[in-house]
Amino acid sequence: MKALLIVNEHAGKGKTKKYWPQIQRCLQNFEIEHDVHFTSGPKEAVEAARQAAANQYSHVIAVGGDGTVNEVVNGIAGKNTVFGVLPTGTGNDLARMLNIPTDPLLAVRRISDRRQKSIDLLKLKSTYIAGAIGIGFDGAVAEDMNRASWKKRAGSFGYVLSTLKLIFKFPPFTLYLFIDDQTVIFRDCWLVAIGNSQFYGGGMRICPDAIEDDGILDVCVVHNLSQIELLRLFPCVFSGRHIFHPNVVCLRGKEVRIHTDPTVPIHGDGEMMGTTPSEIFIQPQALHVIY
């Protein structure tokens, strides 16, 4: 095993930097041969991971939060390099999906065990997403959190604050959803989420039936609710019980095309991905992971 650790010391409100000496000791104790690359700016981890794969590293380990994870995944997706994560961010949704513990010692032990499997990825344009894509109100919330970086670092709490800020400002839209050979129109739509994983936004189970290696994407549409009804529904997302509401529709497929009137913002695992229209595919078994 020859591993490159790509480390974002600023992730998790400084938690990465705090835990890094302990992580190093654990790596030595488990005799994991590794090199380290510390990132200094956005998107640097993508190229560092790509170069690591080209330079015959068998494993690339992301040390940081979901942003670092997303970049590393995009650097090695579709390659034979194995992905691992030592979660030190605020959301840690991919680690949650893979049942990776947040305790550094236990997480390094998972790396040492080298238990592996292949998972699917979502693809939007040229970008891979391991967890979920949010379109509409959810995209607007992610956009607001990205503008106020302290909210993003606050994880689920920041998501709640942005939700309360925007819920009476965001106008519902008309959704034209084309999923495989099916066409569905939703009026007064709030959001549509496309999930490879159950989780996004720091533990919200937006697509609670999603399975990361089944070759199928899960779609959750929330529509025809007042602002007060949406606020009442919101806490249910953390347990996944929102899908039992009559105005929440769940669908499944391999390819989704989305048009909206008007255009609305899109995020993938919390990173902004432009606006609609959009086309999302499932990429089966596109990432080899330690779990």
| Gyration radius from the chain CA atoms | 19
- Report the distance separating Cα 162 and Cα 144, nearest Å: 6
| Whole-structure pTM value | 0.93
Across residues 259-272, what is the average pLDDT?
95
Domains annotated on the chain, with CATH: 3-114 (3.40.50.10330), 129-284 (2.60.200.40)
Q: Helices marked H in the chain — which ranges?
A: 15-29, 44-54, 66-76, 93-97, 104-113, 137-147, 149-153, 156-166, 227-233
Collapsed DSSP state (helix, strand, coil) of residue 10 = coil
Mean pLDDT (whole number) for 84-99: 93
Query: E-strand spans in the chain?
Result: 3-7, 34-38, 59-64, 82-87, 116-124, 127-129, 132-136, 173-179, 182-195, 199-200, 204-205, 217-223, 248-253, 255-261, 265-268, 271-275, 278-290
Question: Using alpha carbons only, what angle is made at residue 129 by residues 102 and 235, rounded to the nearest 5 degrees?
Answer: 60
Give the model confidence (pLDDT) of 95-117 as tens digits: 999 999 988 889 999 999 999 99
Other beta carbons within 10 Å of 168: 9
pLDDT class of 13 with cuts at 50, 70, 90: confident
| Mean pLDDT value of segment 113-125 | 96
Digit-coded pLDDT (tens) for 128-162: 999 999 999 999 999 998 888 776 667 677 878 89
